[in-house]
Structure 1
């Protein structure tokens, strides 16, 4: 689960970034409204923790733009403004929750967990998940590629389901350990890599068209895995991270 913290107070922003990482989230932090909109595109967070009093763009302006563009993320607003009007304005602009400063870090993490549960509940309403020539039925617990049935174990099915639910972004190994295996994100195990290889092999075996042999699951070095985009034609399974691409 990815969290983007938008907070101009440097001490608080750094504290939230470190604390949420210890809770197992993948976290990025920016300190102004313009950067928030840019990172919403690049980082693709599941949750944005958004302060209202920001430089360059006010938090409410950021929130209104996100909702006008139909961005699919939960937004938890932080505000030091005690008046009811600001909280109502935030909720009416599309915030999912509001938290008044000063606040307990434990309360913030509890609210993030509640937002995560809400997102997962909404995702659970999707019975059929599709990507490229891949189809997964969450009720019948069946998966097919190119019309051919995939013989998946329970854990392989859960892993593929999670990748499909979060297609369009990189999913980190710690996130998969926490969400698919219910293990600590810092557990010293290579179980994720092992099962990714299992899945890759079974997905490849279902393909009969030699022109469509590129792996559906890409490795992004130093970040994790993602489902290959439809337009991507490169056949390599491992691609550079965003930071490596920017250094070129």
Structure 2
């Protein structure tokens, strides 16, 4: 069972996160201040960490920065009421792996944590190629194939396909895709993701092949065998 450390000083928020993660079969340990959180975080004893940006004692940026300085690579989902782009960039540069602004839906936190856990498992050894069914993505040569057919992908399409393949079988929300591929907050008024998914689908799933990219109505997209 994966084990997650939640560092959050607001009890209501913490209990919402814990309840949601436990429903996904994840064991959670909670601390409500930065000093204790730092001690536990640098132990490297967890599979992932949810980390509040603003904490009493030691703030979230100091915690993740210290973790990376001492060589602890546990993936970190940073949570913050600060929503400006500069703050998000600051958190990711400090060593955070993902960043969400408050308020948020607990199930979205669980989805982000599961992506971090899957990424950790996928990166447990040297990874040069991703495979889903007969779809192959070579991360060194930066090329893709579906069966015997080579796919001509633009740089953004390659990043989008890589993100989806690294998280195959996982429903990826538009917000998750937007932040992972484009690196800034999702604008619900744009159809950017739908356009790129449509273009990628034409290349990955041409007529006569088993579709691998699926739309999950009301949720997002999923890549995997039917």
1:60 has 2:58 as partner? no
Residue 82, structure 1, aligned to residue 75, structure 2: no
Report the CA distance shift for 1:112/1:80 in structure 2 as closer, same or farther (over 3 A). same
Match of 1:148 in 2: none
Q: Does the 8 Å contact 1:4/1:47 carry over to 2? A: yes
Matched residue, 2:15: 14
Per the alignment, residue 38 of structure 1 pairs with 39
Using structure 2 for the length normalisation, give the TM-score. Answer: 0.53
Aligned to 1:121: 122
Q: Deviations over 1:88-111 (max 9, x none)?
A: 000111110001111111211111
> What do you get for the CA RMSD once the two structures are aligned?
1.5
- Extract unaligned runs of 5+ from structure 1: 127-248
Secondary structure of the 1:14 match is: helix
Task: State the number of aligned residues.
Answer: 126
Q: TM-score scaled by structure 1?
A: 0.48
* Aligned-pair CA distance for 1:42: 5.4
SS in 2 for 1:5: strand
2:98 aligns with 97
Post-superposition CA distance 1:97-154 (Å, at most 9, x none) = 001111111211111111111111111438xxxxxxxxxxxxxxxxxxxxxxxxxxxx
Distance 1:124 1:21 in 2: 27
Question: 2:44 and 2:5 mapped to 1: Cα distance?
Answer: 8
State the 1:36 CA deviation.
Answer: 0.7
Kept in 2, the 8 Å contact 1:47–1:75? The answer is yes
Deviations 1:45-93 (A, max 9, x none): 1111000010000110111111111102000000100111111000111
Shift of 1:18: 2.3
In structure 2, the CA distance between the partners of 1:67 and 1:41, relative to structure 1 (3 Å rule), is closer
Residue 100 and residue 72 in structure 1: after superposition, are their counterparts in 2 closer, same or farther (change >3 A)?
same
**Which entry has the higher C-alpha Rg, 1 or 2?**
1
User: Which digits, 9 at most, give the CA deviation of each residue in 1:215-239, with x for residues without a partner?
Assistant: xxxxxxxxxxxxxxxxxxxxxxxxx
Report what 1:27 is aligned to: 28
SS at match of 1:54: coil
Q: Which residue of 2 aligns with 1:109?
A: 110
